[in-house]
Amino acid sequence: MLIKELRTIIFRPKVLIPILAILLIPLLYSGSFLWAFWDPYGHVDQLPVAVVNEDKGAVLDGKKINLGDDVVKRLKENGTFDWQFVSRKQVDDGLKNQRYYMAVIIPSDFSANATTVQSGNPKPLRLVYIPNEGANYLAGKIGDSAIEAIKEEISKNVTKTYAETMLTNMKAAADGLDKASQGANQLHDGLRTAGQGSRSLSDGMEAAERGSASLAAGAEKVKDGASDLSHYLTELAEKSLTFENGLQEASDGAKQLQTGATALQDGLGKLAVGSQKLASGAVEAQNGASSLANGLHTSLHSMKELQSQLPSLTSGANELRDRAAELGEGIQAWQQKAGEAADGASEVNIGLQQYAAQLERLIEQTDDPQQKATLQTLYEQLQPLVKGSESVATGIRGLADQAGRIKNGASQLADGAAAFASGQQAVQEGIGKLVNGQQQLVDGADRLVAGQQTLVDGAKELENQLQAAYQGAQTVAVGSSKLADGVNQLATGSSQLVSGTSELADGANKLSDGVSAVAEGATSLHQGFDSLLRGGRSLSTGLVRLEQGAGELADRLSEGAEKADSIQANERVSEMIADPVQNDKRPLHHVPNYGTGFAPYFLSLGLFVGALLLTIVFPLREPVERPSSGVAWFFGKWGVLAIVSAAQTLLADAWVLYGLDLHVQSVWRFLLFTWIISMAFMMIVQFLVTLFDNPGRFLAILLLIAQLIGSAGTYPLELIPDALQSLHPWLPMTHAIHGLRTVISGGDFVLMWKEAAILAIVATVFALGTLAYFCLLYRRRYAVWTETETTVEA
């Protein structure tokens, strides 16, 4: 039946020529489409793009820059597109006349905006991009990618410029920080000197404050004395004669007073020295008491840690005792087994010796040389076993003896562990008492430190009071000396006393008034010195803090200068900052061009269209003659479709492999898989057209449309509508495209065979459906004829 179908096709030009033309349909579809769009991105250098540079330039850190000129220069070096550098008017005309697919305009403030990054209101750099999408939408999309590349290149240049400026400024900042660090060190030294001066000033003010206090007290006394003097001068005038008589006695008493004042001054000086030594000793005693308290605290902490660890030590000792006892029992059992093993080894040794003796007798009794040699070899091999078994027996007995010693040691270890555990309780109780006693020592040491501090404070206060007393004694000594001199003068001038008493009384009244004013001034002076002393102390504290802050400032400035100076400012660093990330593209399955990526889609489309058009020129239902059966009828048609399918596949594959130079992972797998695809499509189309004729062709066209939009041959599956995503796995072209992608680029042949199996099942199912239809049709159409012919022949 197939041969007749082929003969009819060959000898009927009206059928042969269309079928030959149909053979070229997959080639025309897949080949022409792939040839036209094989590598469109490889020809974008022929795409005219207009560039207008209106940038007027700017000044950045004293340097003139013009980023627009830099962009134009780089575009001239970059042959990605057919860059045409024109004026604004030429761009407008070219876009209207569709001479340019897009235009790039660099505004006049392009460089000026780049300099605003150092101001408080930075402005972005803007490129005006005008795609002529009405002329060609895809050209506009290609231009989007190109403008992003230009934007990235400009960003790198701007960032590089900023980085160079920043690094230069950082170097200058490093020098400034270094100078600031030196100035801070000088400030620190000056503040240290000022602090020392302020402390000296504070000491002087303390002495002045004490002197002013003494002055105020003395002035008050002088005030009282002046008042009394004024009161008694009147009586003095009356009793001057009596005074003259007792003046000699006063002179003697003044001398005694001078002698006592000098002795008092010397004693107070020695007492002051002793008080200083007492204060120093008290400070040393305080330091010793503090050290003692710290040591006792540390010792108490250690005692408590030791006390907390004792339960764990006791538990470990008990565990050691139990394990030692278990070890003794296990060794005893092992010793018994070792004795048995030693006996067994001795028995084995005896048996081997007896066997060797028997072999020796057999060697002597045997006359056959070969047998004797065999027995001799066996005897020689047996000797090491005899010696080895003897050594094993001896070794096992030695191990048994050693096990006995280990058992004794384990027993001793268990006894020692038990004794240690029992003694550990006593140790723990003693440690507890020791901790309590240590706590009492710590409490006593703390009280000693507190008392010692009181002693130090008292010693310092005593030293201050003695110093004041010493200064008062000096004043008394000087006054007593003057008193003695005065009394002597008074004695010599007693004759003038009477005459001057009246004048003295008048002067005493004036003196009383003046002394009152002096007393008030001395009190105010003392209060002023007290305020000044408090201010001086605050000044000393502030200067100390300033000195510390200046030192820390100098250290931080020095560190900042070192870190800033460690920054490398060169061309490579600027380029790194401008472009810190480099893409390292590592495709899992490399697809060299656009055509390779779309080959699975166009090949599948061409093969389906070829199968569909074949049904127009080749009758899929009508036989060339009456078939002998429905099966023969089916295979007659199926054979023609299989041959045409193979021819279409070979022509299309040959063109894409050798005409377009498509690289695949395996040529023979590629050829086989495309033929399986073609046969699956042939069987689907044959089933639809054979059963439904023209409505079947319409159903095949609907299936083709569904496969074109749902097989994800162009865009990824996730980008198509959800309804088509659910349809995707049920479409034959889905599996055809997956398998072709694998055999062309992926190399996962397991997946290819899986898709091939699915397509083979699809082809088989539709072929069986067509076969069943032909069998039913044969019964309807030819069963009556067959029965009639049978009756006539009968």
Q: Is 90 exceeded by the pLDDT of residue 649?
A: yes
Confidence band of 45 (pLDDT split at 50, 70, 90): confident
235 is written with which tokens?
């009586």
How many residues belong to the chain? 794
- Unique residue bearing structure tokens 């000087």: 478
Query: 93 vs 230, which has greater pLDDT?
Result: 93
- Mean pLDDT of the 142-160 span: 69
Cα of first residue to Cα of last residue in the chain, in angstroms, is 27
pLDDT of residue 325: 73
Q: Which amino acid is at 109?
A: D
- Mean pLDDT of the 475-489 span: 61
372 is written with which tokens?
């004797």
Angstrom distance (rounded) from CA 108 to CA 52: 10
- Mean pLDDT of the 759-770 span: 97
pLDDT of residue 63: 81
Q: What are 48's strand-pairing partners?
A: 82
Angstrom distance (rounded) from CA 689 to CA 540: 111
- At 570-607, the pLDDT tens digits run 566 655 555 565 555 555 556 777 778 888 988 999 99
pLDDT of residue 439: 76
Longest CA–CA separation in the chain, Å: 205
Q: Are 610 and 22 in contact (CB under 8 A)?
A: yes
Q: Are 611 and 644 in contact (CB under 8 A)?
A: no
Angstrom distance (rounded) from CA 341 to CA 345: 6
Q: Picking from 197-201, 341-345, 652-656, 675-679, which range would have the lowest pLDDT averaged per residue?
A: 197-201
Angstrom distance (rounded) from CA 621 to CA 774: 8
Half-sphere exposure of 188 (CA within 13 A, CB side): 15
**Those residues with Cβ within 8 angstroms of residue 452's Cβ, 6 or more apart along the chain or in another chain:** 282, 285, 286, 289
Query: 236 vs 369, which has greater pLDDT?
Result: 369
Nearest to 262 by CA among 569, 481, 555: 481
Q: Is 50 exceeded by the pLDDT of residue 794?
A: no
Q: What are 59's strand-pairing partners?
A: 64
Q: Is 80 exceeded by the pLDDT of residue 309?
A: no
Residue 377: count of CB within 10 angstroms of its CB = 10
Nearest to 88 by CA among 49, 57, 54: 54
Angstrom distance (rounded) from CA 186 to CA 191: 9
Cα-Cα-Cα-Cα torsion 153, 154, 160, 163, nearest 10 degrees, comes to -130
Q: Quick one: CATH architecture of 263-467?
A: Orthogonal Bundle (1.10)
What number of helices (H) and strands (E) belong to the chain?
19, 6
Confidence band of 72 (pLDDT split at 50, 70, 90): confident
* Strands 128-131 vs 102-106: parallel, antiparallel or unpaired: antiparallel
pLDDT of residue 179: 73
Report yes or no on whether pTM surpasses 0.85: no
pLDDT of residue 608: 94
- Mean pLDDT of the 197-216 span: 65
- At 229-284, the pLDDT tens digits run 566 656 655 665 565 565 566 566 556 646 655 654 665 566 566 556 656 755 66
Q: Are 607 and 31 in contact (CB under 8 A)?
A: no
Angstrom distance (rounded) from CA 644 to CA 354: 91
Confidence band of 793 (pLDDT split at 50, 70, 90): very low
Angstrom distance (rounded) from CA 205 to CA 232: 39
Surface-to-core class of residue 475, CB atoms within 10 Å of its CB (0-12 exposed, 13-18 middle, 19+ buried): middle
Give domain limits for the chain.
Answer: 2-37+593-793, 263-467
Residue 569: count of CB within 10 angstroms of its CB = 15
Angstrom distance (rounded) from CA 366 to CA 377: 14
